[in-house]
Amino acid sequence: MTDRRAQIGLVGRQVSRRSMLAGAAVSVVAPAAATTLGAAPVAAAQGNGQGNPNDGETRRITMYAEVLPSGLVGYGLAPGKATVPGPILEIWEGDTLEIELVNNTDKRLSIHPHGVDYSVDSDGSPLNASFNEPGETRTYVWRTRAPVKAKGNIWIPGSAGYWHYHDHAMGGSHGTEGLRKGLYGALIVRRKGDILPDRQFTVVFNDMTINNKVAPDVPMLDCRLGERVEFVAIGHGNTFHTFHLHAHRWANNRTGMLEGPNDPSQVVDNRDLNPGDSFGFQVIAGEGVGPGVWMYHCHVQFHSDGGMAGIFLVRNEDGSLPDGAQAALDRYHQHDGGHPNGG
């Protein structure tokens, strides 16, 4: 497994909570373990349903922005471990996250979050002189809070959501160069009681790429039948997209699930994914449809034809490939079935 994943560029892109809990394959998923900040989410994942036992903790991490051998630029949780996208950062609503950002590049850059609270000095924008000069280390502080009751029956929204973070300073005042080169990642703020997934994937539609790759090099999302898989989808760049996942659907709301049988949320399997936007959802892999090689792709025709298409591989429960899967994977890698010249 390890070799195969490495070959298709998965290292650092896939988080296996199961593996982590079981203590297996840690070398493969090292970034994942590091991105689960503190024990709380894991505890909730174990199903006690009691929410965050560490209410309002302050968590501290160091991130490193570095140039990758490919020329891309990524964030990582240890020197030499930068990836595109960066690690999934995950906290509880109520927590504070302090990020010491080390700029190991020769250009100014920053880290700017969506959805959370920050003062102007953590804005990450040149407008507020909030960035790292080349070689500089700087701390950014992100705070979160639960919903609060306002007047009448109205509540002010909390911080929980599938958010993201990105550079806001390289190559201009809006981080256009940093974004183009890969300085982005997922940020999840969970609410007490939220169900935790078994696996997580970050999918970024960045101009005409997925995670700065095109088919057949787009990350394969690899899981097993019945696992609870969480997607965080993020849009960046200059072009507009629609994210489509085959054979799985979700509610177009905060969690992707419903609050009850009368929840009015629209259920979708295709959603706009435009610059600066993000959403997330969980599916039970293969539920009602079985294992298989399922496509996820931009539904704009010339985008998918141009390579904005990847594979959501749902293996059998024992990890083996289902019937026909290898042939489908071969088609994808041979540009036959996943590309305009295919088939």
Q: State which of positions 273-332 bind a second copy (CB under 8 A).
A: 274-279, 284, 287-290, 292-295, 297, 299-305, 309, 322, 324, 327-328, 331-332
Q: What distance, in Å, lies between the first and last C-alpha atoms of the chain?
A: 28
Interface with a second copy, residue 38, by CB under 8 A? no
| Cα 102 from chain centroid (whole Å) | 21
- β-bridge mates for residue 190, sequence order: 92
Nearer to a second copy, 28 or 227 (CB): 227
Write the CA distances from 87 to 30, 201, 291, 298, integer angstroms.
10, 10, 27, 23
Interface with a second copy, residue 266, by CB under 8 A? yes
Interface with a second copy, residue 18, by CB under 8 A? no
Write the CA distances from 159 to 58, 187, 258, integer angstroms.
15, 11, 19
**Reading across the β-sheet that carries 89-92, which strands appear in turn?**
89-92, 184-190, 161-166, 112-113
In the list 38, 53, 126, 226, the residue contacting a second copy (rule: CB under 8 A) is: 126
Interacting positions 150-169 with a second copy (CB under 8 A)? 150-161, 169
In the list 23, 48, 262, 318, the residue contacting a second copy (rule: CB under 8 A) is: 262
Interface with a second copy, residue 88, by CB under 8 A? no
Interatomic CA distance for residues 16 and 26, integer angstroms: 9
Interface with a second copy, residue 133, by CB under 8 A? no
Q: How far is the CB of 212 from a second copy (least distance, A)?
A: 15
Cβ-contact 275, 180 below 8 angstroms: no
Interface with a second copy, residue 341, by CB under 8 A? yes
3-state SS class at 44:
helix
Nearer to a second copy, 106 or 154 (CB): 154
Segment interacting with a second copy, rule: CB under 8 A, options 6-14, 70-78, 219-227, 230-238: 230-238
Nearer to a second copy, 75 or 243 (CB): 243
- β-bridge mates for residue 91, sequence order: 189
Beta pairing class for 228-236 and 278-284: antiparallel
Interacting positions 52-81 with a second copy (CB under 8 A)? none
In the list 172, 317, 319, 326, the residue contacting a second copy (rule: CB under 8 A) is: 172
Interface with a second copy, residue 193, by CB under 8 A? yes
